[in-house]
Copies of this chain bind each other. A is one copy, B any other.
Amino acid sequence: MDNPELQPIPDTTEQKIFEAAHEVFTQKGMDGAKMQEIADRAGINKALLHYYYRSKEKLYEMVARAIINKAMPAIRQVIESDLPLEEKIRRFIGTYIDIISQNPYIPLFIISEINKHPERFFDAILPATLPKPEVFFRQVEAEVAAGKIRNIKPQHLIVNIVSMCAFPFIGKPMMRILLGMGTGEMRIFLEERKYEVTTFVLASLRPE
């Protein structure tokens, strides 16, 4: 009745503002973003920003919360599931890289946000949807004890996986220059990683 489409099309002024703010904040950060530029990109008057969202901080908080809530639940669902370890690793890497591919700005935005205002992030923005890795840890310990995988500390394993998934997108421009790739090659390279990271991890876990 409201909207016959599956995805809400940017229609109302409020939505256009949010979209423009999303663009500017993710590209330039809180300090680099200017209210006037957000208004221009939304094609509306600057005063309307304050009419719908009271202040720059409130608007930023809305955008930040939306970004977190888009990224976290999928990750959490995989890592807290009761899949067998190898399948869990496969799916975790798959979904992680998928999400970042579709929203490459997410990791750097979250990291920059935490670095500049940790308390605001953990108190206000981050809901209680933080993934709990304990299940995963016990799974790893169990398979180590059973001799199915080599001895490894589960904390380091998960940090390794997340690092290999996220960092190439964060440091994409630098990687591109370092590897001497064009933008097209780089796109292919990043797509390959879903398979390559999985192989790399599982190969490392082979028992001695």
Contact = CB atoms under 8 A, between A and B. Distances in A.
A173 B203 contact: no
A163 interface: yes
A133 B177 contact: no
B115 A173 contact: yes
A111 B179 contact: no
A192 B122 contact: no
A196 interface: yes
A175 to B, nearest CB: 6
A131 interface: yes
A153 to B, nearest CB: 7
A131 B174 CA distance: 11
Nearest to A204: B204
A181 B155 CA distance: 11
Contacts of A28: 31, 116
Interface in A170-191: 170-171, 173-175, 177-179, 189
- Top 9 closest pairs, chain A to chain B, by CB: A204-B204, A163-B167, A31-B31, A31-B32, A167-B167, A156-B196, A203-B204, A163-B163, A163-B164
